[in-house]
Structure formats: C-alpha cells, structure tokens
Chain A
Amino acid sequence: MQRRKFLTMGAVAIGATVLPASLSATDFRKEVPAAWDAEGSHDAIKALFGDIKPTPGKIKMKAPKLAENGGAVPIALKSKVEVTTVALFQDANPRSAVVVFELANGGVFDLKTKIKMRKTANVTVIAKGIDGKFYSHVQKVEVSIGGCGG
C-alpha cells in the first residue's frame, strides 16, 4: 500500500513539471495533493514544482512589515516577467501552501489577495515563467494578532 502511494506521488510530481505553457484547467489540489499537506514551505515547493533552483529578485512583493490582523494579511505580487504559474507559501500555519494562481495568455503578473497568518513567519512566492525558469521571493511578515481562528 505504501509503495503504491509512493508510486502515484512520483507520477504526479512528473506530471506537474511538464505542464504545458498554454493554459490548461489544472486543479492543483487534485493534481498534487501532497503539496497541500506539506508542513514547511520547502517541502511544499518540492512537492509542487520538484527540485528547483529559483532565481530571486525578479518579483516584487508588497506585504505589511507588521500585520495587525493575522486573519487577513494583504499580499500584492507584481513582476514584469511573464509567468504561467504563481504559488504562495507561508510558514505560519499548520500547512504551507496557500494558493496557486494560473495566468492565461494575456494574463499580467499583478495579483493581490489576503491570507491568514497565525504568527510571524516568512512568506514565499514561487513563479514559473513562460520560459520554464523559476523565480522566487521571500519576505518576513510580522503578525501581532494571530489569524487562523486564533
């Protein structure tokens, strides 16, 4: 049983790395369930994208240095790099993966959302460019009152 589970995980990981550049309706929750159960950002990124070495510094992240309400921390992501997939991770909650965005042809890398953070932690964004390269950005966000039902 364990072995079977391991095999399917491997198959899923390969499937995720050869995603076509054009937009396909991918539900990452169904495709890569392991990524959504991973506890740390490092494991979640590995489960979702495989063993990658992203280039830092191409993505701009706008997040508060000190978030007063951990229940809704605004995160804005922007870049001139053309990307297909943008994934957001944090280390504040029981599991790391927050959201995976996919942009269609014509999609502009200019995203905003609000996330929950139980405590002060790093927020990591990984983006996959149309050239197949990976880009990353890490930013620490301090939280004064924890979200996530706290």
Chain B
Amino acid sequence: MRRSMLVRKVLLAMAAVLLVAGGAALAADTPRKGGVIRVGNLGEPPALDAHWTTASITETLTNHIYEGLYSLDSANKPIPMLAESVAISKDGLVYTFKLRQGVKFHNGKEMTSEDVVASLARWGKQSVYGKALFAQVADWKALDKYTTEMKLKEKSAIVLISLAVPNNFGAIYPKEIAERFPPEQKVTEYIGTGPFKLAEWKPDQYIRMVRFDDYKSRNEKPNGYGGGKAAYVDEIRWIPVPEVATRVAQVETGELDFADDLNLDSYDRLKKNANARPIVSKPYYWLVAVMNKKEGLMMNQKLRQAWQAAIDIEPIMKNVAGGRAEFYRMDSSLAPVEISAWYTKLTGLPWNEHNKDKAKRLLQEAGYKKEPIRFMTTQEYKWMYDFALLTKQQLEDIGFNIDLQVVDWATLVKRRNNPKEYDVFTTGIGAFYDPTHAVFLTPSWPGWTTDEDIQRIQSELARETDPKKRMALWEQQTRQFYEKVPVIRYGDLFGLRAARNTVKDFNEKTERVRFYNVWLEK
C-alpha cells in the first residue's frame, strides 16, 4: 500500500516536471500544478464543522474540504455535486437520489448512501437550513449502496436549494464521524470528499490544506460553486491577519498571494500596483438595521416607518464605501441582482425617501417622546459601525434620540437574542438563494418577525412549487416588507479582495472565495 503510494507520488512528480518543462512552450494560460497559495483572511473559524455554524469563515474553509449532495451553479441554482441525479414522484412527496460512484473520502473509504443519511440527519438537527428542510421531512433512508430516498410530509419547494446552499451546508461526512459527534458538539475529525484535505490547523497562525490526490472530480466544466473541481495548487495556506491595513500591505509586498475583506480606501492603491489587482466582490451584504419587534419602542410600526422615511441612504453608503461608487449600489430588491431568480423590480416602494416631513409626521403619530432608542453595533465589522454612526446623525436631526452602543461582536450576538437588551442592531444580509432562507423574515431570528401576514406568505412560499406563483408571492412579500418594516434595508455594499497577478483563474463571481481551479503562475 505504502509502496504503491510512493510509486504514484514519484510518477506524479515526474509528470509535474514534464508539465513544467513543457509548460514553457505552451500558452501561458494553461493551468499549472504546484505551489502554495497564501490567503489572508479575517481570523479564526469557530469550527471546521459545516453543520455546526453559520459563520461565513467556516463556510469558506469547509467548502474546500467537504461537499454536499448539491451545489450552486453560476446562476445560483442547484446542480448536483455528490448526487448523480434525482427522481421526484408525481405527488412531489418522494425524492430518490442516486449518488455518484467511486467517490472517496480523505481516509480512503468510498462514500455511500449510509454516509449521506447519517450526515444529513445530523445536519437536519443543527443547521439553520437543515432544520428548515427537516421540518418537512418524514423519513430519509438508504435504499442501496448508491441510492437514498427522502419522504416528505407535505409538498416542498426548498429541497434541492436547501441541499445546495454553501452556508451551514449539508456536508457529507463518513458515517462513523457523523454518528460519533452529536449535533451540538463540533466535529474535530475533518474527513470529507473535497479536492483539499486538512493538513494542519495552528490557530491564529495558519490552516494548511493540501491537495487530495484521490479526488474524483465531476466531468463538467467548473460552474459557479459546482461542476468540475481541480486542485492545482499543492497547498492552500489560510493565514489569519485580523488587521485590515496589514492584510492589504502584505498582498502589496507579496507576503500574501490573496487577501479577503479589505478596506475600500485601498482600492486606488491596489489598482496602481503592478503586481497585484483589486477584485470587487458582489454581492457582499446589504446593510440592515434590525428592529426588536418583541419588546420595547420599536414594536411601534409607525416608529419603524419613521426611521425608514427619514434616512438618506446614498451619502451613508458612499461614506461606508470609502467615497467610491464602485463599492455600493442603491437597490430596494430584497435579493441582490446577482441572485437573478429572486430579484424584484418593483417601483413606488417607500425606500430611501429621505422625506423629513413624512418622518416627523410619523414620529408624531407614533407618540414618540424622545425616549432613547438603544442602537447596538460593533467595530469588529467596521462598515456596521460606520453606517450606524451616520444613521444616528441623520435620525437625530429630525428628532430621534439614539443611544448608540458600540460593543464587541461576541456581546452583540449574545445580546441580540435577548429582547430586553436592545431596540435595534446592525448587521449585514448576505446572499440568500431562496425566499424561505431570508432570516430577517423568520420569527425565530433576533428581531423576531412574527407578523401574521408576513408569516402566511413565508409558509406559502415553502409549499408552493410553481416558480411563477412563487415569484408573485415574493413580490407581494416585498411590498409588505416596506409597509411593515421588520428591518430597515439600506443599500448594497460590495467587498474588496486583492490577488497577486500570479494567481490565475480565480472565480470573481462567487460570494465567497474558492481556490479549487485556481493555479499559480511561474
């Protein structure tokens, strides 16, 4: 066994040498194997267990190690990944998934239906999306080695999309691991089917992922997050660099090959750099002020409407975007234009009215008497603090009294679960690929959107399977959103990344970075 590995390694090395030797003659655009790509990111993941947390850094990292049954294509629609195909019964209640054969885990074991059933059961207990789906699932079992069958309690529109979302996703682990670690306990053995496997994790120093030589790629071309995946680089080294200014500097000097989440002020400088290039990432977030509708002042709908009517979004976005038009977009659709399936083009919505008289009138109707409104934000995400501070000034100019509370992120996410501790908090709404995944419209997410009319449409959206009717419902929901104002939608903010020019074939279109199919020149 060991010997054949060695032989294979030698052969591979020889092949690589030949490739490199021949590469000089070939066009510069031919992917080349080898090299270590050093990627600077925000910080440490709380876990490398995809089922366990929605943290976006965990999402980015785990998607290189694990795969799910489905993935998203470049139009953000579900396409099969570990699944080969699906057959849906006429009544829409039974889904039969065929799995791809010969897919290996990093430990050498072949992936089978048992692993899928065990993993998804765990995911269904812990993940935000998994729980939403499993609320509709009656039974999910293995029929044979490569076939699983899922039975639903009611018709569902969200089966495939839930299996495809990259965040908090239904990663397939070996059965033994999925069963050894109960859902509330994070996995500490990292075995997946992805093109990279975890080699070493030194907190705050680096996470090393190396090529998985036995990776079985799909035959299709790369497509969005899915399709064929090739690990060209020998190693991805994720280096946490919490200081944003440092991350930029290190790409410029070549200490990093790639850096994510940069400050927008550095865009011009990166553009001038001969060895690196800026990459604008869309979508990033739309900025949002989430209202506490369970307790306190903001239960008052008129007060929420006053806030919505008062704010002048463009100057806020411009300041947050470092004064640059490239980095923000004024848009009222709840899904960003990149998620074309759910993008709405409604007019006449009371968004960005900056109508002081209307706002003052609404304040009066709300019976507001300058009570302090506790507005919670954090500096750990600088854009949150920035838009909160600018909002405070605009609102106070028309008679609001804003008590801006700047706390650390840990405190914010704790406090926002307690309706007694705040009135409004800041966050960002990232891409969601189905209306039912819009957390700000759910009654369980902080802010607690319990409004009956909103909930009625949400549950209809979960059951309705006709795409046209679903879109109509979504448009109706959007109009309702701007009337009931569960949260305040600001503009779309884009992110900034930077890559050295030696980094080739990086997919700039996806929300989060992926380094399969990426190769290094030289």
A binds B: no
Residues of A within 8 A of B (CB): none
